Chain A
Amino acid sequence: MFKAKVYVTTKANVLDPQGAAVQQALHTMGYAAVDDVRIGKYMELTFDTTDRAQAESELEQMCKKLLANPVVEDYRYELED
């Protein structure tokens, strides 16, 4: 069994309207030091296998094909035992 933690974020050069709105709210609240807010997605996947290499290679494909849209998003993941 492996557990994957997948983080999907908006690419650095792509505007994140939600992040911009949250940043504005934080400024309104008085947190003037907040320079930038980026909102992303966090996913947890569990794998029923003992083959770590296989799980990792499948996870990479899943990220590319479905979990993230490479046109506007970056992804990274951690695979835990």
Chain B
Amino acid sequence: MKVAVLVFPGSNCDWDCVHAAEQTIEGAVVDRVWHTTDTLEGYDLIMIPGGFSYGDYLRSGAIARFAPVMQAVAKAAAEGVYVLGICNGFQILTEAGLLPGALRRNTGLKFRCHSSQLHVANADTAFTSGYAAGEVIDIPIAHGEGNYYCDDAVLEQLKARNQIVFTYTDNPNGSVADIAGVINEQGNVLGMMPHPERAVNSLLRNEDGIRLFTSIMKAWRERHAIVG
């Protein structure tokens, strides 16, 4: 399975994503891909890491979405390639219109950096099949602008289509409906503020993120009928 981890000027979780993918996805070949690249042919999973792309100038993710590589992400997403946006990656995906809604400044104005308990609201996705529905997992957050917003009509749609994948048990940022992560209608693009790539190693005393990556591997293997 080939994995691309995008790197923008100001990304700072790219190596964490590389290590997480290498450690959790058996046989993964992981490349860091610079933002000026205009093709992502051949990749099975595209990860958009956390950080502060372009210094978060104007709005988080607003400038990154116009980087050449984002055209390639849109194309790959339309073709069904798995796309996982974490933190700044989630902000970029909403700015790019690949996911609904927007991320605003946390209501408390504080940069929140700590572990957070998440409900797995939808365990029936390519990213969450390894979890049980309603299971509570511990995935750390680290953001100042993770306050998810969408209007009531979009929220109703998200609920009706089961696109809310993770919710906070204790809302840290004011997100509408406690939303921590949403998936697109096709089910191949997931954006989430918490950092599963920081929860894949017993040395860090948190392995709750591992199953997110193994779920993707399982979905990919099923798609390609790989037994093993």
Residues of A within 8 A of B (CB): 13-15, 17-18, 21, 41, 66-67, 69, 71-72
Contact = CB atoms under 8 A, between A and B. Distances in A.
Residue among B58, B104, B107, B108 having the largest count of chain A Cβ atoms under 10 Å: B104
A66 B149 contact: no
A15 B147 CA distance: 10
B147 A17 contact: yes
A17 B109 CA distance: 7
A72 B106 contact: no
A14 B104 contact: yes
Contacts of A41: 58
Interface residues of B, number: 20
A67 B58 CA distance: 7
Nearest to A20: B107
Given A69-B95, A71-B149, A72-B149, A18 B59 contact: no
A17 B105 contact: yes
Contacts of B107: 15, 17
A41 to B, nearest CB: 8
A19 B59 CA distance: 16
Contact of A18 (B58, B95, B105, B174): B105
Interface string B39-83: 000000000000000000011001100100000000000000000
Nearest to A68: B59
B154 to A, nearest CB: 9
B14 to A, nearest CB: 24
Consensus secondary structure, chain B interface: loop
Nearest to A71: B102
B101 interface: yes
Residue among A41, A66, A67 having the largest count of chain B Cβ atoms under 10 Å: A66
Contacts of B158: none
Given A14-B149, A18-B109, A72-B102, 15 more contacts: A13-B151, A15-B104, A15-B107, A17-B108, A17-B109, A17-B174, A18-B105, A21-B109, A66-B66, A69-B62, A69-B95, A69-B102, A71-B101, A72-B104, A72-B149
Residue among A14, A17, A18 having the largest count of chain B Cβ atoms under 10 Å: A17
A6 to B, nearest CB: 11
Contacts of A14: 104, 149
B94 to A, nearest CB: 8
Residue among A18, A66, A67, A71 having the largest count of chain B Cβ atoms under 10 Å: A71
18 contacts: A13-B151, A14-B149, A15-B104, A17-B104, A17-B105, A17-B106, A17-B108, A17-B109, A17-B147, A17-B174, A21-B109, A41-B58, A66-B62, A66-B66, A69-B95, A69-B102, A71-B149, A72-B104
